[in-house]
Every structure is written in C-alpha cells, then in structure tokens.
Chains A and B, each alone.
Chain A
Amino acid sequence: MTISLAAQINSVLAALILLTAFGLLVQRRIYGLLHLFAWQGLFLSISTAVVGFVAEKHHLYISSLLTLTLKVIVLPYILHVLIMRLKIHKEIETVVNVPTTMLIGIALVIFSYSLTSPIRDLSTHVTKSTIAVALATVLLGLLMMITRRHAVTQIIGFLSMENGLFFAATSATYGMPLVVELGVGLDILIAAFIFGIFFFHINTAFDTLDVEQMARLKEED
C-alpha cells in the first residue's frame, strides 16, 4: 500500500465519520442512533489501524483495538441493554428545525477548517487533512447535545464527541501516548456505568427520559 493510497483511504474514512456525525444530528429513532454510533466507531477503528500501518506506529493497533472493543462492541451493547430494560426502543424523538441544525452543522465544519489551518500547515503527517474533520466531529457532538432533549441522545452525542477526540489524536499526532489513551478509555467505561445508573434514576424520578422535564432548579427572582 503506498502512502498516497493510504491517505486517500483515510480521507474516505474521515468523510464517513463526518457523515455519521451529521446522521446522528438528525436521526430520530433511538435504535437508529445506536447503529449510527456503532458505525462511527467502526470507521474510527479502521482509520486508526490504517494510519498505524502507514506510519508504522504499532501502538496505534492497540488504540484501534481499544476503539473497536469499546466503541463498537461494549458501549453499544450496554446502551442496547439499557434501552431494552427501559423499554424505550420504539421511542421517536421529535427533532425540531432539522434544516437549521444542518446549516449550523455545516457552518461548524467550515469553522473547523479555518480554525485548524495553522495546524495543517505545520503538520508533516499524511493524516493532516483530517484534523479539521476531527474537530468538526467534536463540535457536531456538542451541537447534538445542545439541540436534543433525550437523555440517551445526549449521551450518544457525548460519546460521539469522544470519538472525535480520538480521531483528532490519531490525525494530529499519530495517537496520544498509550498510557493516556488507556486512561481515557477507562474513564469512558466508568462514565458508561454512571450514565447507565442515571437513566434508571431519571426514569424513576421523572417517568420519562426527556430531560426537558428537568427544569426545577432555576434562579429565583
């Protein structure tokens, strides 16, 4: 595999990650969100492995394997079990203002490109063109957490942000040091247990997972 071919494969994978990020933004079905999230993890994992192969950085294989187990198998499985237990698998969330959200999303992508241009100029890596996509994925996850009102959706947005961060680490620097990547993975795993517990608490306390209901704590006048 030549370097340019690998760079092209990586760009395609970056495009797919960005596509799934946009998909997550407007997908209304809880189950559809879960599938999209798993796909995003898979693209990320393959992309990490490709970069590891081209750059001959073997620790990236471990990182790729970590992403595969965590983001494609473990987390979607945990979410699947939770969704089943909470009996919300058929729930459809009302998503308002899809066109506006999409437009804001596009603006965020352009913004990411302009923001990361100094990094692209400095970088000597084959992956330098994908840094902007990584930042865009982070920002799109953030946008998703702001616009959506369902607890599960917000969590998927949060995890999608984490995907963007892993992607950023791979494309900007060929991955963070291994101890950091493992630690981040551990934190995500702990977070998964915590939001699992949370879903049940929210469901018992509010009878719904719609976080719109949570508006009791406000500034009093």
Chain B
Amino acid sequence: MTILTLLGVSFIGALILAFVGDRKFAPEINIVCSFATFVASIVLALRVYHDGPFVAGREFFFIDAFSVYLVVLTAFVSMTTTIFSKPYMRREREHGRVGHWGMRFYHAMFQLFIFAMFLCLLTNNVGVLWIAMELATLATVLLVSLYKTPTAIEAAWKYFILCGVGIALALFGTVLLYFAAEKVLGEGGEALLWTNLSQVSGQLEPTVLRLAFVFLMVGYGTKVGLVPLHNWLPDAHSEGPTPISAVLSGLLLNIALYALVRCKVLVDGSLGTHLAGNIMMGFGLLSILVASFSMLRQKDIKRMFAYSSIEHMGIATFAFGLGGPIATFGALLHMLVHSLTKSSIFFTVGHASQMHDTQEMSKIRGLIRGNPLVGWGLMLGVMAIVGMPPFGVFTSEFLILTATMKDAPLMTPFLLLGLGVAFAALLRRVQPMVSGHIPSWQHPLKASHVPVILHMVLILVIGLYMPDFLSRWFHMAVELLK
C-alpha cells in the first residue's frame, strides 16, 4: 500500500502538473506531492526497520535496508529541491528564460523523474530496473535543454546519446544475466527477480556472468559518471536549471550506483572471486584522480561541482569495490552525506549565480556581505564536501581511508592525492567568491534558506553523532551486501 502511494503520488502528480504546471499554485502542488512521498517513504522505512526485508505485489516489489534507505533519501532531497525550486524557477520565469510550456514541462518531468527513481529502487525485476533507469534518463534529457540555448541543447544531446548508448549496453548485460539465470530458474519472469537470483547465485554460469558484468559495468557506470564514461555529466549539470543539477547529482547518480552495486554483489557472490570488486575499484580510483585534477581548471561554478560529484561517486564506487564491512559501511554513509551536501551546495550555487546573473566564478564575489546565509551556506557546504570535520563527509571518508589502509594499502596514496587536490581546487575557488566586497553587478535576491539549513544541520548531526537507528540500518544493509 505504501509502495503504491509512493509511486502513485509522483505519477499522478506528474499527470496533474502536465496540465496546470504553469499556474501560480503549481510549485505548491509539487511540494505537496513530494512531501506526501516523503511521509510514505518514512512509513516504508519503519516497516523494514522492524520487520526486515519483504516482497510485495506478487513479488514485483522487493524492499530491503539498502533500497529503502535510498528511497528515504530520494524522497527527502526531492522534497527540499521542490521547496528550493519555487523561488528559483519563479525568477527564471520573470527573466524570460522559461515560458508557459517550459514551466508545465519542468514540473511534470520533475515528478516523472522522481517516479522513475522510486521504481528503480523498489522493483524486484532486473529488467524493470533497466526500464526505469532509461525512463529517468529520458525524463531529464529535455529538462537539461529547458533554456533552449545552443549550449543547453548541445549538453542535452550529448547526455541523450551517451547515456542512451551506455544504457543499451547495460540491457545487453541484462540479457546475458537472464540467459545465465534461465538455465537454473527456468523461463519466465521469475528468472529476473533479485530475490530468486540471490538464492541461486552459486549455480549461475561463471563465464556468462563475467561477460554480463562487463556490459552492466560499462552501462550503469556511464550513468554513475565514472571516468572515462563521464563526458556527459559536467555539461548536463552546468547547462540545466539548478534544481535539476541538484537532483541529478544528489539522486540519479546514487540510483545508478545502486544498480551497479546490486549487480556486483550478485556476480561476486556467484563467482566466489573479487573480479567485479576489482573492476569497480579501478574505475573508482581513476574517477577520483581525473575528476579532482579537472576541478583545478574549471571556470564555471556548476561545472566544477559536477566534477566534484564525479570524484565522490568515484570514492563510493571504490569503497563498494573494496568490500568488507567497514568500507561498505563507509560507502553507504558516503552516498547519503554526499547527496545531502552536494544538493545543498547546488541550492546555494543557484542563488549565487542568480545574484550575479552568471555562472562564471571570476564574476561571483562578496557573497557573505551580499547575502550572509547564501555565502555561509556555500562556504560551509564546500568545507563539508572536501571532508573537513565535523561534517558527515569526514566520517565516511575516514572510514573508507581506514579500510583502504588495511585491505589495499597500495591504493592509499592515490586516494589521498585525489582528496588533497580536490580540497585545494575547491577552497581556492570558493574562498574569493564568498569573501570580499560586494561587486556593482550583484543584486539582492529573495532566497529560500530552509532547504540549505535543513541539509547542513543533518550533515552536521551525522558528522558529530550517528543516531542509533541509522547505524543499525546501515549494519543491516552491510549484511545484505556481503
């Protein structure tokens, strides 16, 4: 029932907003829908917390600690994003960047995107997971090109083509997985269910699984934004509207990583080797290094933070690849805190670029004097994302580093190098933006501070003290991912 509420509210919300998305009350509908899904996600999480994982709807849905924590995160971040997007999109509309149809489209596609992500997380079927992932891509493609400027269209086209190709390869991997599963489980829909696959994982044909994983890795890895498959990501993040950058970075990358981790657990579980984990570690480390050095040379503020997302997804992928209880715990925590921190950064970045009418970092100055909450929000957000204590990212990166030193000591210097370069690159750019005098071209802005404050408080709480239920929850997920 709660599952149907989650999916139904976002889907019906998308339908309604397709007709009334340009009205004055449309942002409120958007907020109410997201709030309702958030409440439903909490109910679902409590049920998993008390009763453990369960299947529903004739085995069509499968919910365990791993997926439900991402459901809550998705619902929460999408809710705060709708609150942020209300004043942001109103201003974009006043400045003529989006019209009537654009607003309808924006609101409807936003909810459809949320629907697709929930479907990814809740489904028990590997094939449906693929379909929902493709749907999430398609829903966001036209949002990236919402402003219809040549660069926005270029970015969206690149996103469409690269992710289309990537995800097509993931489908081939899914076909191979089905081929291996069908031998053991027989034909029909049952052979593609996670619950059935994990039961028979020891009997699946290893050569086919290995091949399948390579395709799945390339396919879903493109969506995670792992180097060298990351080319679409900085463009799509920098050219789309900021609320979309926030959900792309904070949520969609997580969902793709979720799919990848599920495949990895299945493949490594049945092969009895560490092949999938090693591949993920390689991709992860490469992403950390390339992304952190790329951050050094960015001029566009959203582009820089897009590279930072690649870096952090690299860290999480690396940690999942490393395996072991501490690294997996760290990776789960990292997905959570990165998502909260990065979306909060994108909120402040959106306000900052609206105050200066540009995304060029050299023209953004004097934020703290201009608007203390935006300025401090950005400063603290960046301190958090580079891994300074006492914020949550510090905790997760510390756990991952400890596990790396223990299990793969040779990787530690590379990991530290990446983190160090990212630290330098971000602080060097952000410090002049927040400090100094107010430039003449800056104008005041009515910003929505609630989402940023909410996110920052959460990251701080997680960094200082891990609530009991959260750590128990993560331990449940770690057990599943062994």
Contacts and interface: CB of A to CB of B under 8 A. Distances in A.
Interface of A: 57, 115, 118-119, 122-123, 135, 138, 142, 145, 151, 154, 158, 161-162, 165, 168-169, 172-174, 176-180, 183-184, 186-187, 190-191, 194-195, 197-198, 201-202, 204-206, 211, 214-217, 219-221
B239 interface: yes
Contacts of B156: 198
B125 A154 contact: no
Of A122, A178, A217, most B-chain CB atoms within 10 Å:
A217
A173 B172 CA distance: 12
A179 B127 contact: yes
Please give me the 7 A-B residue pairs with the lowest Cβ-Cβ distance, nearest first: A180-B127, A183-B131, A214-B154, A177-B189, A118-B207, A205-B150, A187-B134
Given A165-B175, A191-B138, A195-B160, A179 B187 contact: no
Given A122-B205, A187-B135, A195-B160, A176 B150 contact: no
Interface residues of B, number: 52
Interface in B118-164: 125, 127-128, 130-131, 134-135, 138, 141-142, 145, 148-151, 153-158, 160-161, 164
The B interface, classified by DSSP as helix, strand, loop or mixed, is helix
B294 interface: yes
Interface stretch (B48-56, B176-184, B418-426, B465-473): B176-184
Contacts of B131: 180, 183-184, 186-187
7 contacts: A158-B165, A158-B168, A177-B125, A179-B128, A186-B131, A198-B153, A198-B160
Given A158-B165, A174-B187, A194 B138 contact: yes
A138 B157 contact: no
Given A191-B164, A205-B150, A176 B172 contact: no
B297 A221 contact: yes
A183 B208 contact: no
B94 to A, nearest CB: 23
A207 to B, nearest CB: 10
Contacts of A145: 161, 165
Contacts of A173: 175, 178-179, 182, 187
B299 interface: yes
Interface in B184-208: 187-189, 191-192, 205, 207-208
Contact of B128 (A183, A191, A202): A183
Contacts of A169: 175, 178
A115 B208 CA distance: 10
A157 to B, nearest CB: 9
